[in-house]
Amino acid sequence: MIMYRAKIKMLAVMLTLAGHGMNAGADSLPDGVQVHGFASQAVIGTSHNNFFGATENKASLGFTELGANISWRLNPSLQLSAQAVSRRAGETDNGSPRLDHATLDYLDYTIHASENARYGVYLGKIKNPYGLYNETRDVAFTRPGILLPQSIYLDRVRNFVLSSPGLAVYGDKTLAIGNLSYQFGVIRPDTSDRETEGTFLGMDRPGTIKSDASYIGRILLEPGNGHFKLALTGVSMRAHYQPEVSDTLHAGNIHFDAWVFSGQYNAENWVFTSEYAQNRINAQNFGAFFPNHSATGSSYYVQGTYQLTPGWSALARYDVTYRDKNDKDGQAFSAMTGVPPYSRFAKDLAAGLSYRLGNNWLLRGEFHHVDGTAWLPYSDNPNPAVTTRHWNMWLFQAAYRF
């Protein structure tokens, strides 16, 4: 607790300095410099199981987000930026401040820019272009709800998905049918935390997963009227396992490949969004205690948000995850492992309300009725045998930005 308070104090100092920078006015900052910050606190309770802390039959304050960022446009072709974040989410994230991207790690260099096209290079720790929401998921104001659809934006592997050291090329071009943008990169995802190990290897193992050179890319088309967005994301990740001396697993290999198809329609007062993902995990050469296996998962959600008044908006979502599309009910997996079959799927029906107090404050409430436990955090629920298939979750959140 003392260490956590010290870490939060450190980030609070950053937020305070950022706030002073904003309050001092643009004249006190170098040309091209922008400073922003955000903070949010949620209360979470569940009828069964735990999510972001000990939430079963109780209310928990275990979900906190703090962040500060600065960007500096040195010239029209060169920008440096940094963002520090502290995120506390039950046992999956302990609140340690970290650099999501940093001045020394993140370089945005525009090779060419004209009225109809722009091309450039990102170098350093890059926000991964995954689906429609990944690059802006840190800030509560940029999410449609308190939680993003877990079928696509699984919070327990947030570190793996959010950003990665690497090199990427990007561009956007105005076409006759609308604006086309793209980004393709070579990256090394973060595979070091125990939730990522649990996702790929079934549990937190003694050894460590090390990522190899991997690839990600996205193409996004926005037709000319601005109402539609269509995107295709592709990921190909390669990693290897480094066992400990007394490890029962050998030095195996993991291949993870995924496709995400995204669509969004924006009308005057409502937004309809749907995304579908298919991913394949292939694990080989781990030895007799973890035989070679592969599984192809499929996930999707449909979501609608409606602007009731200038301040109030409503959310409705149906979100589905299958860890193996050839064993959707999990019965074959359960017969082989003894793990409950409902751990292999999740069907989430969610509804929420949001209220904005000006540009800086946001209040939200959200309710989820879930069938299955496929996206429950492993760290919060270490024994899947004592989890419950049908469960409810409610959340309230207050968020601030400047």
Which token pair is 320?
A: 């589905």
pTM check: above 0.75: yes
Report the alpha-carbon distance of residue 43 to residue 64 in Å, rounded: 9
Q: Are 374 and 346 in contact (CB under 8 A)?
A: yes
Cα 60 vs. chain centroid, distance in angstroms?
21
What is the set of domains in the chain, with CATH numbers? 109-401 (2.40.160.10)
Report the alpha-carbon distance of residue 77 to residue 35 in Å, rounded: 19
Q: Per-residue pLDDT for the chain (402 aa), expressed as one digit of tens each?
A: 444 444 444 444 444 444 444 444 445 667 778 888 899 999 999 999 999 999 999 999 999 999 888 878 777 777 777 788 888 888 888 878 877 665 344 556 677 777 788 888 888 888 899 999 999 888 899 999 999 999 999 998 888 898 888 899 999 998 888 899 999 999 999 888 888 888 888 777 888 889 999 999 999 999 977 799 999 999 999 999 988 888 888 988 999 999 999 999 999 899 999 999 999 999 898 988 888 888 999 999 999 999 999 999 999 999 999 999 999 999 999 998 899 999 999 999 999 999 999 889 999 999 999 999 999 998 899 898 999 999 999 999 999 998
For residue 120, give Cα distances in angstroms to 168, 281, 374.
9, 32, 39
